[in-house]
Structure 1
């Protein structure tokens, strides 16, 4: 895609979303009870400062990162270009993401051996599992699997989206919005809803839920939403602030310093397909859609963002370890400063490394 063909606001979203992913993982060092520093099955907040700043950075700001990436992909790819077959679409999309994904899955299974962060037994176990799931040291690669799922479904739903009216799409988006209540209902009402049981995980709303909803939302915004910039700014600001505030509050409400808590309960409203995250994502996307002027550095960083995302834990872990110095309650810098500093330093290191790698022959198979 040339400079003229690029959509400036989507480049801004990619760059900001990439940074927010790093902000999320920087924040996890201040509530994860796991030895890695990241949030595992159990969490514990050291003090009120950590409780507030994690809720703010990870909750209010960071939760929108993944849905934004999903909307950007759908915004550009849906519906499938006229004349392109399903096989052609799959070949084109998967050749862009699978080689770099596999490359980094192998790297995360082997490189940590060099600095003693994993044992040979764990390395071999991770390599054996590569056909089935991401390595133990690369939890962030979970995102690649729903992205693959989104790519698989795009050619299937494209014909409907080409024919659907704005009203039709709104009906589906409404159903999707209802399904975003499911994580709350699972936690506070029943773990099994609308036909779910141990022999059936596909509930009544299964096929209308998940990231498919963001795909349809992206198409609706691109094709049917004809709002002025002033209206986008107003509605976008209200939606983002409301969604982000609830997301931050939900963590703060459940978090109690010094008390060990199951991470899913602490993050009870942080799943990416919850109504509050949907609202915040919609609002922020509207705000970004008002940007029309490209910026050279943003365009360049956008091109590098996939590689930056893939490698960022290699940098984030040692940077966080250095700043925290083994004490999440009293890091080298105040927590409110330490979290963004970890993310910024990681972002800079990733940008420089990805740019250098981009000069290698065949770099697209490493960094995308």
Structure 2
């Protein structure tokens, strides 16, 4: 498949934003040595409140951008391709590295005392059920796998759907992204109750909406570059402002807070995050280069490996910039993220020289 230059830029950008998110978590929700946010959060001061809101809030488009890139490339399936051929090709690429890193996250931290033997054994025993204790970032793999499983099912519809029909689907998806706020303000809606979580728009909700949105942009959106720039900028700015403010308004410094409450606007399938993601992706589609610079292309190719391994490096740079150097939050978060990204890039590149490296880093 010929590379699409602007998608390489998107992959690198989204990969770096994922690391920004996890760097930010160390300033409001990390528990012990996990480098991940927990069920409760604590912001030490006003500076943490502001810069966590800005850096982490803006970066919440990272996961949806990855979903859109995958969908942009893969849906609908190629003519004549069977479901099983599709599954074999996609899963052969992502599953071996995924399971390898699950094993690594379940064992390597024993060497530096981050987990004990009981935790390691438990994590290893549950590999087929869920991600390890120290690999919370691997949650992303499960909805990605789900989308891959669904692509052969939705492809026939996308092949024949009109632009109007896809807009109808996207409209219902957008409405479904408002449900977290409706639940907060009005309680259970549209059939929700303690014995039924499947609300009226359940089957139009979730990451499937991003899949259809990506197909619509690729196939049906015929806007000129100037219009994409204008609309994309507007959507990105509005979405970013809402996403950042949603956290800032609730994150009171000096108090123990419930993470799901203050992160309500940071869920990836909320209306503000959809606006932020869509606007940003539209801006990237304005890149007209037929080839990205070699460095960008190389980083894009290694992005899966960078994502898989970045938690191993993140803790080191947190200890340097947050603990040892005690940089102010405004500088510490980007320094942690950039250092982690560079180390992961170098590590992934070195691994790529090993025969069979595709089974390690994709």
TM-score, normalised relative to structure 1: 0.96
After superposition, the C-alpha distances for 1:258-287 in whole angstroms (9 at most, x for unaligned) are 010000111111100000000010000000
- 1:352 and 1:308 map into 2 onto residues whose CA distance is 9
Unpaired stretches in structure 2, ≥5 consecutive residues: none
- The question of whether the paired residues in 1 share the 8 Å contact of 2:49 and 2:248 is answered with yes
Show the counterpart of 1:24: 21
- 1:88 and 1:298 map into 2 onto residues whose CA distance is 30
Runs of 4+ in 1 over 4 A off after TM superposition: none
Show the counterpart of 2:312: 314
What is the alpha-carbon root mean square deviation over aligned residues?
Answer: 1.1
- 2:228 and 2:95 map into 1 onto residues whose CA distance is 36
- The question of whether the paired residues in 2 share the 8 Å contact of 1:33 and 1:42 is answered with no
* Equivalent residue in structure 2 for 1:56, among 54, 57, 69: 54
- 1:292 and 1:69 map into 2 onto residues whose CA distance is 20
Task: Tell me the CA shift for residue 205 of structure 1.
Answer: 1.2
1:245 aligns with 2:241: yes
Show the counterpart of 2:347: 353
Show the counterpart of 1:38: 36
1:305 aligns with 2:303: yes
- 2:71 and 2:84 map into 1 onto residues whose CA distance is 18
* Equivalent residue in structure 1 for 2:330, among 333, 336, 343: 336
Give secondary structure in 1 for the equivalent of 2:199.
Answer: coil
- 1:131 and 1:307 map into 2 onto residues whose CA distance is 21
Task: Tell me the CA shift for residue 33 of structure 1.
Answer: 5.1
Show the counterpart of 2:94: 97
- 1:365 and 1:187 map into 2 onto residues whose CA distance is 44
* Equivalent residue in structure 2 for 1:143, among 124, 140, 144: 140
Show the counterpart of 2:113: 116
- 1:361 and 1:234 map into 2 onto residues whose CA distance is 46
Task: Tell me the CA shift for residue 334 of structure 1.
Answer: 1.5
- The question of whether the paired residues in 1 share the 8 Å contact of 2:35 and 2:314 is answered with no
After superposition, the C-alpha distances for 1:169-208 in whole angstroms (9 at most, x for unaligned) are 0000000000001122233322x43223344332221111
Aligned residue pairs, count: 359
- The question of whether the paired residues in 2 share the 8 Å contact of 1:187 and 1:268 is answered with no
Show the counterpart of 1:184: 181
Give secondary structure in 2 for the equivalent of 1:83.
Answer: coil
